[in-house]
Amino acid sequence: MSELFSIFIGLALINNIMLVQFLGLCPVFGVSKKLGPAVNMGLAVTLVIFVSSALAWLANNYILIPLKAEYLHLIVYLLIIGSMVQILELILKRTNDRLYKSFGTYLALIATNCAVIGVLLLNAKESYNFVESMIAAIGAGTGFTLVMALMSGIREKLELSNIPEAMKGLPVIFITAALLALAFGGFAGMAF
Amino acid sequence: MSGFSNQFKKGILISNPVFVLALSMCPVLAVTDTLDKALGMSGAFALVIIASNLLISLLRKTIPDMVRIPVFLIIIATFVSIVEMLFQAYIPTIYSALGIYLSLLAVNCLVLGRAEAFASKNRVSDSLADALGMSIGFCLALILISFFRELLGKGSITLFGNELFTLPGLGNNPIYIFSMSIGAFLVMGLLLAFFKWIGVIKDV
């Protein structure tokens, strides 16, 4: 049990997938201008990571490893994520139109988000069992949503502040990310 | 020929993939803590983007428009898998240092972006020039970032096992945060601000 907890905390806080492992950074610079869309994006990514790591685990352990075709895992994972995103889009469109509209085009962009494929590759690299990969998926999703929410909150404040001309736009977001990473660095060395 | 050299120059200076387009941040930030890793990543990036631009440009009339993105993804992922195997066989130390970031080239916005925006619409020679320019631009940016990070974070510059020089005073007690993720964001932010200040970058 404590091992599962440390996998969760590891990916959500100590080795936060965005700030420490640099996975899935594109939406931080693109989407995180307002708190609402940022959190929605975080939840959508969490859902996709969760479902596709379950499928990827099954594909890896029941198809690729018995056939000794592990070298194909990258292509298989890409196909799983791509089709998952398509199916999710269809289901949301039919069942919950309001939620679908609030996601907008972000949903399709998740297909090429490094956070999703990164978690799948990490799971395979650490050879986690099924429960461990599920916990890792939830941990990574939580870490992603947390950072998206924090960044968008800070960016809403930054809009109102007086920033030097050269620092406006991307540079100040990088500096903000550096300070957030410094704060998350405080979790380093925590053990359970 | 002037078309070729124009495409080539564009990737290095006018639309440098890292600093101007600000694309593909994951590999740029993750592998720039040492110069060795940055060079390894640039090599892998160059091989993947040149091979995939070439193949996509050759197949641009054959690939149906409806399914082009999945086709591009599969082509790129195939080349990434090949490069991974080459690295694992010939330079295993760099391969293990790069870890999952090598595989992540498969979903790199830059490689996919050039395939979609350029190679699928242009002649083979132009696509090749575009890929070469982008690779050199990417390599120069990675070298610049990793130079500062290794110099300040380790106190010395080491290239393929040979120590080139040590910064006096920092050799024994370097500023560790520059080799951590904080340093990546900080150096990248400051470099972007510097390029904006001297006017190389107009709007990011």
Q: pLDDT value at position A93?
A: 81
Closest Cα of chain B to A80: distance in Å? 12
Give the residue with greater pLDDT, B9 vs A144.
A144
Judge whether B182 and A181 are in contact, CB under 8 Å: yes
Q: Is residue B107 part of a domain?
A: yes
Q: Is residue B92 part of a domain?
A: yes
CA B105, distance to chain mean position in Å, is 9
User: Which residue among B74, B103, B112 sits closest to A121, beta carbon to beta carbon?
Assistant: B103
User: Which residue among B26, B99, B192 sits closest to A25, beta carbon to beta carbon?
Assistant: B26
**Inter-chain CB proximity B30 and A22 less than 8 Å:** yes
Q: pLDDT value at position B98?
A: 86
**Inter-chain CB proximity A170 and B30 less than 8 Å:** no
Compute the Cα dihedral for A116, A119, A124, A127 and give only its sign: negative
> Does residue B89 belong to the interface with chain A, where contact is any CB pair within 8 Å?
no
Q: Is residue B172 part of a domain?
A: no
Across B133-157, average pLDDT: 85
∠A79-A80-A81 over CA atoms, to 5°?
95
Q: Tell me the C-alpha distance between B175 and B186, whole Å.
A: 13
pLDDT-flagged residues of chain A (< 70): 1, 30-32, 103-106, 190-192
Q: pLDDT value at position B47?
A: 93
Domains in chain B: how many in total? 1
Q: Is residue A22 part of a domain?
A: yes
**pLDDT tens profile B29-76:** 888 888 888 899 999 999 999 999 899 888 888 888 777 777 888 888
Q: pLDDT value at position B22?
A: 64
**Inter-chain CB proximity B192 and A19 less than 8 Å:** no
Domains in chain A: how many in total? 1
**Inter-chain CB proximity A117 and B26 less than 8 Å:** no
Across B14-42, average pLDDT: 78
**Inter-chain CB proximity B180 and A181 less than 8 Å:** yes
Is residue B129 very low, low, confident or very high in pLDDT (cuts 50, 70, 90)? confident
**Inter-chain CB proximity A166 and B112 less than 8 Å:** no
**Inter-chain CB proximity A23 and B77 less than 8 Å:** no
Using the predicted structure, report yes or no on whether residue B198 has a pLDDT greater than 90. no
Chain B residues touching A122 at Cβ < 8 A? 100
3-state secondary structure chain B: CHHHHHHHHHHHHHCCCCCCCCCCHHHHHHCCCCHHHHHHHHHHHHHHHHHHHHHHHHCCCCCCCCCHHHHHHHHHHHHHHHHHHHHHHHCHHHHHHHCHHHHHHHHCHHHHHHHHHHHCCCCHHHHHHHHHHHHHHHHHHHHHHHHHHHHHHHCEEEECCEEEEECCCCCCCCCHHHHCHHHHHHHHHHHHHHHHHCCCCCCC
Q: Is residue A146 part of a domain?
A: yes
Q: Which domain holds residue A42?
A: 2-187
Q: pLDDT value at position B10?
A: 65
Q: Which residue of A has its CA nearest to B20?
A: A170
Using the predicted structure, report yes or no on whether residue B113 has a pLDDT greater than 90. no
Q: pLDDT value at position B48?
A: 92
Across B133-148, average pLDDT: 87
Q: pLDDT value at position B1?
A: 44
Chain B residues touching A113 at Cβ < 8 A? 107
Q: pLDDT value at position B82?
A: 92
Q: How many A/B residue pairs have CB atoms within 8 Å?
A: 112
> Does residue B70 belong to the interface with chain A, where contact is any CB pair within 8 Å?
yes
Closest Cα of chain B to A95: distance in Å? 26
Closest Cα of chain B to A150: distance in Å? 16
Q: Is residue B74 part of a domain?
A: yes
What is this structure's pTM? 0.83
Backbone angles phi, psi at B140, to 5 degrees: -60, -40
Q: Which two tokens stand for residue B63?
A: 């690939």
> Does residue B97 belong to the interface with chain A, where contact is any CB pair within 8 Å?
no
Q: pLDDT value at position B11?
A: 63
Q: Is residue B39 part of a domain?
A: yes
> Does residue B124 belong to the interface with chain A, where contact is any CB pair within 8 Å?
no
Q: Which domain holds residue B115?
A: 2-144
**Inter-chain CB proximity A75 and B78 less than 8 Å:** yes
